[in-house]
Amino acid sequence: MKALCSHSISLRLSRKLAIFTMVMLAALFVGAWLSVKMMIVQKNAEDARFRGNVIAQILALELQRGGEQACLARVRADAPMRANTRLELWRADGTPFYADEAAGSHAMSAHTQSVDFDIPAPQLAGGLLKARYTMDFASDARFGRKWLYVFVVVTLAGGALVALGSFWHVRRGLQPLRELASQTRAISPRGLDQRLSLADPAEELLPWIEQFNALMERLERAVAQLEAFNADVAHELRTPLAALIGHTEVALSRERPADELRDTMLSNLEEAQRLAALVNDMLFLSQADRGAAARRGAANSLAALAAQVVEFHEAMLEEAGLTVRIDGDAQAAVDEPLVKRAIANLLGNAIRFAKPGSCVVVRIAPDEAEQVRVEVENAGAAIAPQHLTRLFDRFFRVDEARPGSSQSHHGLGLAIVAAIARMHAGRPLAESHDGTTRVGFTLVPQ
């Protein structure tokens, strides 16, 4: 089933960077525009005050020289030179003295700045003239709007350029991911030995590559083990099945006495029992691999459990000319049937390979990390170091290295010991040197 893509990392990062850039540019431009606007307004106010002071001085001088008529003549003569401004004068009692026309060059827009001031006029009633000088700054307002449009355009253009640049850089930066995806896509069931690699891996990608390659190594080993396991199972099942089929065909080939048919059925029963034991062992290992845990009961003596196993194997020990000694003891809450099965497998393995007349020792002692160590020691031919590492593999036999092995054993006994150890949070143990072999396991007592 193909996964649905909810979003693109390249598009999402580009969009976020573009929005962030536009927001930052807009904030900077708005701040700059407001600052310039405030400076212009402040400058216009100062300009209006300065011109008001100049007009007040000129008109005060005209009043001193020629009185009211000279003042009126001056303001009328200067009116054409005051474009985009308007001058209004009132007497002290509030009656109009002079005002520029409200139309033409003196028409005012909504962008004005006014300043009120008094003009000394001793020659007039009340001794002064009240004045208001208004300046029209519509041109400055138009200039500010043009810059505002420029800021908006620059902000949008900057966001668009950042989006395009970010998209290109992000896609280029994600190229190693696409290369890794291509390499992953090329891995097939027949090419599990392939690994991911980059010529110059980024620091963020290196852990991912290492973990994936480690996963592939585990998968390759698991597949190899599974293939070997399947081949071993087919091999182990083929022999008893062939025997069953052969015996049955021979029995049915002609009329036979009842005693011969009984012998054939007994032989077939032995092969069927061997098949059943093999299948049961395989099912047990499968359950252990799926994480089955031991059913622990009350704490009990491991030496007592070992004694029960030894008693069951007395006939085999006597036939092999061996003696048994149990050293040490420990109290542990374990799954008693499983632990006895593990000890039985270890003891049976030791009986097959022990030197006749020797003593097999079952050792039980505390181990490091609060675990208990259970080992079975026998004297006999040593196991080669390269075989020790595979001793607990399924269907593994060291027939060539150790005389006394038998094909009647299908090679799952020690694998079951390792599984039982894992079910008790322990591990298998094996060492062999100087003619002494010790095989066992650890478990965590609860």
**Token pair of 371 as six digits:** 């675990």
Closest C-alpha to 248, from 278, 269, 275: 269
Closest C-alpha to 155, from 11, 29, 16, 15: 29
What's the chain's length in residues? 446
CA distance 376 to 340: 13
- Taking a C-beta distance cutoff of 8 angstroms, is the pair 252, 268 a contact? no
pLDDT at 400: 46
pLDDT digits (tens, 9 = 90+) for 315-362: 999 999 999 999 999 999 998 999 999 999 999 989 988 999 999 999
What residue ranges define each of the domains in the chain, with the CATH number in brackets?
Answer: 9-168 (3.30.450), 206-289 (1.10.287.130), 300-443 (3.30.565.10)
- The percentage of the chain sitting over the pLDDT mark of 90, rounded to a whole number, equals 19
**Can you tell me the mean pLDDT for 278-298?**
80
pLDDT digits (tens, 9 = 90+) for 393-430: 877 766 544 444 444 556 788 888 999 998 988 899 99
pLDDT at 7: 66
**Can you tell me the mean pLDDT for 71-90?**
88
Residue in the block written with tokens 């071993």: 232
**Can you tell me the mean pLDDT for 152-177?**
83
Residue 113 pairs with which residues in a beta bridge? 135
pLDDT digits (tens, 9 = 90+) for 149-161: 888 888 888 888 8
Closest C-alpha to 59, from 30, 39, 43, 79: 79
Closest C-alpha to 116, from 98, 132, 134, 130: 132
